[in-house]
Structure 1
């Protein structure tokens, strides 16, 4: 039996701000329980719902030095869906209204505390991992501290570490002197081939340098981050570590996203009966959102943060022209004010054709995935992306830009070979996006049989966590054996 510890700043169902939480909450359940004892450690945030706090039991506490002071480290635990979770308790650090505060220096100190505490609790909880799987910059100091702790005694020697990058844009950067004072690490670590980057200290860089393996959340993104455009100033390091770098696509929780059993949608359907039953969801959504009731109209969905990264500058540029077509457009999400207002404007200008829902609703998102014919996702960069996986699951064909996980998971339609599960375009260009949307419209209206065959292929794809877990198990085995 091999012991694996996941360390993360968020995890469903306890605390979530983005896709990272879904990965850490779902993946541990899919490992072979006869071979792996997988546990998860998180901060105990005050902003968690009370029902999760009520599940926790006290284990122990001790004091640990950080930033020149002795800090309280409380350990709480609970079991949920067969997985053992540990929570590190310290009200000084984790008392905020959200997991991440506006002050970057405070976030760095908070997660430096968390990273050091993760290693410090191991002898106390009686769980010595063979491997610690670290997620994003908030845990970047764990491989660094692990290297440092190895000098202190036998216990920490031989523990391997993996650093998974969910989005390279966020790195945990602050000035060197401050970070050194907070972490208490010696000068040795603050040099250009270790944690220093452009005169500052960089927590994620430390994790990438010291981890035994580095992964990211799709194969294409693993290649992209070796280039200056996607590399966020760390492309040189990514190239240096390329032998230890690999991409594994995130999975989707196929129980939660299941058109046959989803209680949030009006009419359940599957790959055998979607032709008859999926349109009933569209009709119900048209009714709910006040769109023209037209079963034949092609409906395009977008569920997203409304930001430049997600390609909304392209949508903004082409929206008026797109609204001239025989389509309906449904948007759900919040983000930059200019995009929120742009969608509100077009929902007013084309009231029967465009629905702008500038908020977030889990229920409405499921209805959009189940009701729309196509799903538009023209991202500038997308490490993995989950929305396109949800769309495929519900037979809503993705229209994506060929980047990161979008390129790895959506096979573009080929009308001659009759293959593909969606539509894609290569260049970050508004006209190219519009041309691809119009090509999809042409197939939808003029080649309905081909379209439906594509929906069948999309719904038969398997991007469940089981697939990803096997790849992670192979990676673990390469470091710690079977």
Structure 2
């Protein structure tokens, strides 16, 4: 109530008494009451505000308590990440020495070099301590040799007559893996790792014994010694004979067969002299084959604790006469220790998302558009007719009978039509090199024959082709079909070895599968598989596109293989 309102109110007359008192007026009383009411409202409002603030503070404290007890989303992700990291190391640690004749990026002639590089890298994630040992070839690039560290040297008795040789040790540490190189000018001064059996037999007899001597010298006793192919096959033999009384005798050995066709066979006197092994290992059940030859791979199979090969199907196939390369009976005898584990591919090298060799990178979300772009650029680079609607078939292979080139040669003229292009990359037998040169000249603009090997071009063919031919007569594992699938290129394969284990044939009734396959080694069946692929591509393109994306989603890394090898190491030790 304002002062103006009070003055406008009618006043009462004063009452006379003996003692004069001032009686407040009614209007003043009302004003006092109003002020009191307003003060009460203000006080009540303040109280309500304080209560609200207290409630908010209380709520905030409760939230803080909850957050302290329960991690935030970011923290949860970190915990999950930490748990997944911890899960990798739920198994006991094992030390493993990898022994082989080549290893990428130092020296590589085939798939063995890739395995010797990628598998140890994957095993580190499985809580393994890895040391890779290979020869110190002079063909190793200078940029790696310059960074190697000298770790010591010694003289080693090798030959049956007591002849000794120098053993030097050079070390290189990269990506958490220790690489040790066995140095000797007499054996490893050649330009290439493999020359001929006359030179290679003494070279790898020396290498096998030098590996064990080096481990002893460095006092590094692994739980597992994992050997690869015939060049390292004498390591288990030496371990069970010459080194049986050393600390290394506690190590278990695994021998992995990458290709059974190569076995290290030579006459017994030569291998006996250069290895210095006792006479009893050259008997029928160990190294001896035929009447007068010794087989280094056979000796390794006999003396190793476990034999592995690079696919389950190949492990079964090599126990048959057709695939056994004369060792089928021996492998059947040792079948109880024979295992098959499929190889993987290194996603650090083969990844369409990050591959800087490609014209355009892509993943499953944009593969259908980006593969067209890669195809057009590939056609332009190779001088082919530029048309994204063409069906482009890639062939990246050694040009030999084993890779099925005789079948391809037989049907090449039937494959070619106005809708098809073929791109070849590789070298090998002269007859196949000349054949593909002829096809390039005959089908100008539709066939490109690159009689060589070029890493960048290989990557671009994987990305730009629609399908990849792998019609091998036998294939222990095969990496090309794995790379092709990871790049969204559909494989056309023969059902053998690792090709059968990794490529599920397309089923038109259920729209499942990730490639096209044929079983018997016949040219007509290969032609039928190619025609089935072309029919799906041109007549049911949505099914083809789904298969492309399905293939790219498939896990083809070394993770699964590394877990299987780790379990094998644990079982052995």
Give TM class, smaller chain. Answer: over 0.9
1:189 aligns with 2:287: no
CA deviation map 1:217-253 (0-9, x unaligned): 1111000000001000000011111111011111101
Q: How far did residue 278 of structure 1 move? A: 1.1
Partner residue, 2:185: 91
Distance in 1 (CA, whole Å) between partners of 2:237 and 2:366 is: 53
Aligned-partner Cα distance in 2 for 1:307–1:9: 23
Q: Is the 8 A contact 1:382 1:405 kept in 2?
A: yes
Structure 1 residues 101-129: Cα deviation after superposition (integer angstroms, max 9, x where no partner): 12x02201100000000001112212111
**Separation (CA, whole Å) in 1 of partners of 2:124 and 2:153:** 32
Runs of 4+ off more than 2 Å: 32-35
Backbone CA RMSD of aligned residues: 1.0
Q: 1:439 corresponds to which residue?
A: 532
2:154 aligns with: 62
Which residue in the other structure is 1:381 paired with?
474
1:261 is aligned to 2:381: no
Q: Would you say 1:39 and 2:131 are equivalent positions?
A: yes
The answer to whether the 8 A contact 2:216-2:248 is kept is no
Partner of 2:447: 354
Shift of the 33–396 alpha-carbon distance from structure 1 to 2, 3 Å rule, reads closer
Q: Please tell me whether residue 21 in structure 1 is matched to residue 124 in structure 2.
A: no
Quick check: 1:5–1:39 contact (8 Å CA) kept in 2?
yes
Task: Supply the distance in 1 between the matched residues of 2:303 and 2:309 (Cα, whole angstroms).
Answer: 16
- The whole-number CA distance in structure 2 between the counterparts of 1:126 and 1:435 is 59
Residue 166 of structure 2 corresponds to: 72
Matches of 1:20 and 1:250, distance apart in 2: 11
Report if aligned partners of 1:20, 1:166 keep a CA contact under 8 Å in 2: yes
Whole-Å separation in 1 of the counterparts to 2:506 and 2:263 = 36
Q: Distance in 2 between matches of 1:131 and 1:261?
A: 35
State whether structure 2 residue 411 is matched by structure 1 residue 318: yes
User: 3-state SS of the aligned residue for 2:388?
Assistant: coil
Q: Compare 418-427 and 178-187 and name the one that shifted more.
A: 178-187
Q: Secondary structure at the match of 2:424?
A: strand
- The Cα shift of 1:325 comes to 5.8
Contact 1:219 1:404 survives alignment (8 Å):
yes
Is contact 2:126-2:563 (8 Å) kept?
no
Any idea what SS the aligned residue of 2:105 has? Answer: coil
Residue matched to 1:149: 242
CA-to-partner distance for each residue in 1:432-451, whole Å, 9 max, x for gaps?
10011001100000000000
Q: Does the alignment pair 1:460 with 2:553? A: yes
Larger Rg: 2
User: 1:223 & 1:17 partners in 2: Cα distance?
Assistant: 26
In 1, the alpha carbon distance for the partners of 2:126 and 2:261 equals 37
Shift of 1:324: 3.0
| Deviation (angstroms), 1:415 | 0.7
Please give the alpha-carbon distance, in whole angstroms, between the structure 2 residues aligned to 1:157 and 1:46. Answer: 32
Instruction: Give 2:365's aligned residue.
Output: 272
Q: Tell me what 1:205 maps to.
A: 298
Length-normalised TM-score, structure 2: 0.82
In structure 2, distance between residues paired with 1:12 and 1:396: 25
How many equivalent residue pairs? 478
Structure 2 gaps of 5+ residues are: 1-92
- Following superposition, the deviation at residue 158 of structure 1 comes to 1.7
- Among 317, 322, 342, the alignment partner of 1:224 is 317
Distance, in Å, in 2 between the alignment partners of 1:72 and 1:31 is: 32
Q: State how 1:359-374 maps to structure 2 within 5 Å.
A: 359-374=452-467
Select the structure with the greater relative contact order (CA < 8 A; seq sep ≥ 6).
Answer: 1
In structure 1, the residue corresponding to 2:436 is in which secondary structure? helix
Alpha-carbon contact 2:126-2:566 (below 8 Å) kept = no
SS of equivalent to 1:55? coil
Specify the alignment match of 2:392 in structure 1: 299
SS of residue in 2 equivalent to 1:157: helix
Cα displacement string for residues 113-167 of structure 1 (whole angstroms, at most 9, x for unaligned residues): 000000011122121111100000000100000001344x241322110000000
Query: Does structure 2 retain, via aligned residues, the 8 Å contact 1:149–1:156?
Result: no
Output the CA distance in 1 between the equivalents of 2:275 and 2:246.
22
Please give the secondary structure, in 2, of the residue aligned with 1:398. strand
SS of alignment partner, residue 31 of structure 1? helix
| Residues 158-180 of structure 1, C-alpha deviations (whole Å, 9 max, x = no match) | 21100000000000000011111
Q: Any idea what the Cα deviations from partners look like across 1:245-277, whole Å, max 9, x if unmatched? A: 011111101121111111101111111111111
Note if 1:400 corresponds to 2:493.
yes
Contact 2:475/2:496 (<8 A) preserved:
yes
Paired residues of 2:492 and 2:515 also in contact (CA < 8 A): yes
What SS is found at the alignment partner of 2:226? strand
> Among 402, 407, 428, which residue is 1:335 paired with?
428
Is the 8 Å Cα contact of residues 224 and 231 (structure 1) preserved in structure 2? yes
Which among 233, 237, 259 is matched to residue 167 of structure 1? 259
| Contact 2:124/2:130, CA 8 A, preserved across alignment | no
